[in-house]
A = this chain, B = another copy of it.
Amino acid sequence: MRVVTLGEIMLRLKSPGHERLFQSPLLEATFGGGEANVAVSLSQFGMDAAFVTALPNNLIGDACLRELKRWGVDTSKIIKTSGRLGTYYLEAGAIQRPSQVIYDRTDSAISNLRAGDMDWDQIFDNTDWFHITGITPAISATARDLSIEAVKIAKEKGLTVSCDFNFRQKLWKYGQDATEVMPRLMEYVDVGIANEEDCQKSLGIEADSDVTKGKLDTAKYKALGDAVLEAFPNMSLIAITLRESKSADINMWSACCNDGKNFYLSRKYEMMDIVDRVGGGDSFAGGIIYGLNNYNNKQDALDFAVAASCLKHSISGDFNMVTLSEVERLKGGDSSGRVNR
């Protein structure tokens, strides 16, 4: 099983602990981004995962490449070009203070890529699954075209296509709204991954619920899934993550999925003392791709994905550095956190 993901990987610069940005003169420098995070998850679970992007041809691009190799991701299809590496600054919130993400992605190498720049025949050779997110089409008009080209060719070649809607308000700046672009992408997507806000902001499909309250009504989520599947008949499954945010440190975490016939709901995890919330959704996407390909029922796939992404909240950095057996143990019910010695 070979999976290819396409997207932007960024330098991630985080202030230490719960410090505000530049409170002290240190930043933790790692790398991450939605689609790369998915590739790392899949590689960690033992799958053959390739990540495709453009990186700048300098020491920073080199370091990023090394980090992907470290986690076993196939980087052989990555293009080196001019431009810079997109960067994001992260400040971890605490209690009632929210985390801050500041994007500094102008002129990133991938934002300058155009349809036609990638050799899809080589990239998709011997590949079964292609994953993309709503971030790449948001970066620039050329990246939008590249994204649509990618899913179209993937579909033509018979790959399963998954897409995490991943709506980011601050990115859609080139003159089109998400709701103008994302539906075009959806025509080629088999598996949709989203949260409530994503559905509304990316596709214009709403659930009747208020995310700032934290109270969730799973019935509404079934209806939301139904609406998405109805709008995009080629889509065979839509998985929705359900985050109830009590505070920056305390979230409830669960998910549901909907395949047109059945509605599946996961266990809900109470996550106190969250270590790092960024990449939580990506780790769910990685989990659901693994699950759908390695379990023969959707409940197990969903439960695996929720357990994997629950564990992500205990890991600092974008990548979900957990092992298959760790996810399986939590999925199996042991959430006691007792020392393993």
Binding site for B on A (CB under 8 A): 13, 17-30, 58-60, 63, 66-67, 69-72, 84, 87, 89, 91, 93-104, 106-107, 168, 170, 211-212, 214, 245-250, 269, 271-275, 277-278, 310-311, 313-317, 321-322, 326, 330, 334-341
Contacts and interface: CB of A to CB of B under 8 A. Distances in A.
Contact of A337 (B58, B60, B170, B247): B247
Contacts of A66: 22, 70-72
A103 B341 contact: yes
11 contacts: A24-B25, A59-B89, A93-B314, A96-B330, A97-B315, A98-B336, A98-B340, A211-B338, A212-B336, A214-B336, A247-B337
Contact of A313 (B95, B98, B170, B321): B95
Number of copies of this chain that the complex holds: 6
A13 B28 CA distance: 11
B314 A58 contact: no
A269 B29 contact: no
A97 B107 CA distance: 31
Given A13-B29, A70-B70, 9 more contacts: A18-B316, A21-B60, A22-B29, A23-B316, A23-B317, A27-B28, A95-B313, A97-B314, A101-B340
Contact of A336 (B101, B247, B278, B326): B247
